[in-house]
Structure 1
Amino acid sequence: MKIKISKNEYRLMLDVFAIAEWVMNSFKVGKDSETKPYNKLEQKIMSYAEDFGCGNLVSYDSKLEEFFPTREFEEMGTYSKFIEQFEDDVFWEELGQRLALRDLINDQGLEAVRSMDPVSRLQAQDEIADRYHQEFYDNGIENLFLSPNN
């Protein structure tokens, strides 16, 4: 099977692979066998950069025998805005949900929360999280303080 793509579509694929690479590997050290098939496909796609007139965006390191995005590609940053927005959204959502679960457990007790049916627990947690999300929307972390455990 052959798939025909334009230069613009190829350029978009480079962005998509950069986003995927960030999600899969940004916090890992070394190679990961679980992401190997994805990395292999990314390498294959990147190998066609010259053919699509994007040689300035991908370079080959003969010592590592791998293709890498160039500094020019990274400085263009067309994909990074999606990563930044995703990370920002995840941060606020997770912070609110984790604080809400903590508060629910502190209020109801761990065993009571564990014995709740999942729908009731999520509803109760979401009610608390909504208050945190509104606070974060209004004030960011301005009113967020940590107190040392005594």
Structure 2
Amino acid sequence: MHLRLSDQELATLVEMVSLAANVASWNQKESANDQVTAFENLESKILEKAGHSGLGDWIEFDEETQRFRVKADKEEGLFYHECYEEFRNESFWDELAVRLSDRDLARAIGFDVWEKLSEEERRARTVAWEKRYWEEFSKRGVERVVVVTPPGEG
């Protein structure tokens, strides 16, 4: 198969495969290892070709991983890096709000009742808590988040 890409399309493709490989690398399940490796190998192959097709100032070979990658100084200014950082940031806050809300719901109705609820039922019952946590985190980040250690545990 042969693709004819403009310089801009090639740059976009490089960003797309790098974004996909970065996101895939977060999958730590053993069952995902082969697919993560496939993403990384395809990224390296595309980056190698892109380096020879006008994007040489973007691409370098990483001796440690034995793969091609986008240069760190170049990566920071690219759209895919912004997308990746935004994804990580939003995922963190979303997951924190959901988990804390689930904890609050389980405390309020009891773990046995909570455990019998479907994910949809839990989300429907935690809307107010999630909203409260989102407002808190939006205003203050983790500034007022504390871990309370039970007596006798340190």
Decide: shared fold, TM above 0.5.
yes
Contact 2:102–2:126 at 8 Å: present in 1 too?
yes
* Distance of 1:97 and 1:27 partners within structure 2: 20
Q: Does residue 128 of the first structure (1) align with residue 129 of the second (2)?
A: yes
Q: Are residues 75 and 95 of structure 1, via their aligned partners in 2, closer, same or farther at CA, if it must alter by over 3 Å?
A: closer
Partner of 2:80: 79
* Distance of 1:76 and 1:95 partners within structure 2: 28
Q: Are residues 123 and 54 of structure 1, via their aligned partners in 2, closer, same or farther at CA, if it must alter by over 3 Å?
A: same
* Distance of 1:63 and 1:22 partners within structure 2: 17
* Distance of 1:88 and 1:119 partners within structure 2: 24
Q: CA deviation at 1:74?
A: 2.8
* Distance of 1:120 and 1:36 partners within structure 2: 37
Q: Secondary structure at the match of 2:60?
A: strand
Contact 1:97–1:126 at 8 Å: present in 2 too?
no
Partner of 1:104: 105
Equivalent residue runs for 1:1-150 within 5 Å: 1-25=1-25, 32-60=33-61, 65-150=66-151
Q: Compute the TM-score of the two structures, normalised by the length of structure 2.
A: 0.79
Contact 1:92–1:136 at 8 Å: present in 2 too?
yes
Give every structure 1 segment of 4 or more consecutive aligned residues whose post-TM-superposition deviation is greater than 4 Å.
61-65
* Distance of 2:21 and 2:133 partners within structure 1: 31
Q: Are residues 70 and 113 of structure 1, via their aligned partners in 2, closer, same or farther at CA, if it must alter by over 3 Å?
A: same
Partner amino acid, structure 2, of 1:74: E
Q: CA deviation at 1:67?
A: 1.9
Deviation larger for 91-100 or 107-116: 107-116
Q: Are residues 136 and 62 of structure 1, via their aligned partners in 2, closer, same or farther at CA, if it must alter by over 3 Å?
A: closer
How many residues are treated as equivalent by the alignment?
A: 147
How large is the RMSD of aligned CA atoms in angstroms? 2.5
Q: Are residues 52 and 131 of structure 1, via their aligned partners in 2, closer, same or farther at CA, if it must alter by over 3 Å?
A: same
Q: Secondary structure at the match of 2:68?
A: strand
